[in-house]
Amino acid sequence: MTQDSVNKNELWEFSLRFVTPTVRRLLPEPGGAVALELGCGDGRRLDAAASLFGRVIGVDSPEMIDSALSRPGRAENVELIARDALHLPVESGSVDFVYTFHGLTEFDSRKRFNAEILEVERVLKPGGLAQLWFGRITRLPFVISPATWIRGYSYRETDEIPLKVQQSAVRSALRKARFKYPALSTPLHPDTSWRLFRGGNISYVTAVKPR
């Protein structure tokens, strides 16, 4: 497999997961926009984002940023920033688009999940957009563990997706952050990505910061 085909595959996967029909409708000119990835890991999605957005910021722990820095061929419009505190190291109201795949799944509590949603709202410009994947609790825990269902989340450090939350908990966090959410993955969701990725224990929400 050539490097070109790898890049095309990465761009296709990125577009499918993050540049959904709802995102394209609400963010029609990404070429001049600033995008931020929460939990960028080794940076493999950043180059795909950089081919679509004017500037891309990757944020993660110092260890993961070191890994991303060692990855060859990083695009010139990608900036990597280490994070070691609750607050995102980004100015308020400076980002057009925030996205994450695993960045909301590593926290150990619903309180920390909610705090991250508030940080996403803070860094977005008015009218900015977030495409956020999250670990999802289905109704099964209600049968197995009513306490898990009542508190709205589960956390197990050794799981592939450590933190899972109910959709109602996601809605609550979005409301507290004053987000509008035109897309929250449900069977009636119009986005292509939801139809392809539905089921399992991961879902996404598209959230908009009001102007």
Among 96, 72, 90, 51, CA closest to 208? 96
Angstrom distance (rounded) from CA 186 to CA 209: 21
pLDDT of residue 57: 98
Which stretches of the chain drop beneath a pLDDT of 50?
A: 1-3, 5-6, 187-188, 190, 192-198
The CATH classification number of 3-208 equals: 3.40.50.150
Angstrom distance (rounded) from CA 44 to CA 46: 6
